[in-house]
Amino acid sequence: MDVAAPVAAGPCPDPVAAEVTLPRRPDLSNRVRWITYPLIEAWMGLVEILGLYLEIMVGACWSTWIFMQE
């Protein structure tokens, strides 16, 4: 029976020391949230107001057209 010898003798290399550390980028996620969330809310509010205006105008025109048919 042939038993293979260990390939490398000595302690195992430290995996943490082998990691490459990249320079840290500034955390912009909080700043981006403070800018984009109010813009999204304002846009959705504008769309809602325009939708309500369109709904009211279509209802007014439709009811006027119905009354003119009588």
- pLDDT(5) > 70: no
Q: How far apart are CA 14 and CA 22, in angstroms?
A: 18
Q: Which helix (H) or strand (E) holds 63?
A: helix 29-69
What integer pLDDT is reported at residue 31 of this predicted model?
Answer: 77
- Phi first, then psi: what are they for 56, rounded to 5°? -65, -45
What are the tens digits of pLDDT across the range 10-56? 666 666 666 666 777 767 677 778 888 999 999 999 999 999 999 99
